[in-house]
Structure 1
């Protein structure tokens, strides 16, 4: 897996200097102030690092050797486990691109605001899902439209 880019390390270190260790964004502050943005940058970069680390462990396990179970049932079980692991890594690969997009939105000053309505997404939602791009209401409307178009 690729190592963290030097500029990403610099961004992380700068963000870390702006955020106290026990800081949690609060509704009592100005929305998306410098400290909140730094908090979310750190959160996103750490999340990305953990995904890369897990992917590296998966690659190492695959490189250690093929599955050679003597019993057919054991082999089938091992292959099923590997299939699940590889699907998980694929989902995480897609998540990394969402994390990168969120980091770009922070740099562009667009992070924390709904891409459909321009309204604040809200701290609780962003803490729960830092890659969120829409408010809960906009996301629900989007999902309803998707469901209707699928049912047609």
Structure 2
């Protein structure tokens, strides 16, 4: 499917395959299209963030590591700035990968299934946090470890 529009018929068929918790309404084609569009927009936003961060890192790394004759405070500040940019770059890449994985799961009809126990994650949770890969119970167990 990729970034092409999802036809209403395909969205309806996909919605019928997505799991929900007991008591939740089934996914609608419109909801599937909305979540998909949100994921695609977030992926594009994160790609731009990664590109900007890559450019910033390239500039920071291009300043060289020659510290001779430089004020120690300036060297420390430059090193701190590089570390911060590296951290932000890694975070942006992680978020990009999580959103791309969520889109793949959605398009494969696996969206909303806990990767740990195989039970539904819950429609409400997926609408708020579409990158979720675990139900609340499994996520809480994983965080306690």
TM-score (norm: length of structure 1): 0.66
1:120-135 to 2 correspondences below 5 Å: 120-135=120-135
Q: Separation in 2 of the partners of 1:96 and 1:58?
A: 13
1:2-151 to 2 correspondences below 5 Å: 8-11=2-5, 30-64=25-59, 66-67=62-63, 70-144=70-144, 147=145
Q: How far apart are 1:10 and its partner, in Å?
A: 1.4
Q: How far apart are 1:67 and its partner, in Å?
A: 3.8
Q: Do the aligned partners of 1:67 and 1:78 also contact (CA within 8 Å) in 2?
A: no
Which fold has the larger relative contact order, with Cα–Cα distance below 8 Å and residues 6 or more apart in sequence?
Answer: 2
Which protein has the larger Cα radius of gyration, Structure 1 or Structure 2?
2
Gaps of 5+ in 1: 1-6, 19-27, 148-152
Gaps of 5+ in 2: 12-22
Q: How far apart are 1:77 and its partner, in Å?
A: 1.4
* Off by >6 Å, runs of 4+ in structure 1: none
Q: Do the aligned partners of 2:112 and 2:126 also contact (CA within 8 Å) in 1?
A: yes
TM-score (norm: length of structure 2): 0.69
Q: How far apart are 1:98 and its partner, in Å?
A: 2.3
Q: Separation in 1 of the partners of 2:140 and 2:24?
A: 27
Count of aligned residue pairs for this structure pair: 127
Q: Do the aligned partners of 1:99 and 1:131 also contact (CA within 8 Å) in 2?
A: yes
Q: Separation in 2 of the partners of 1:90 and 1:14?
A: 35
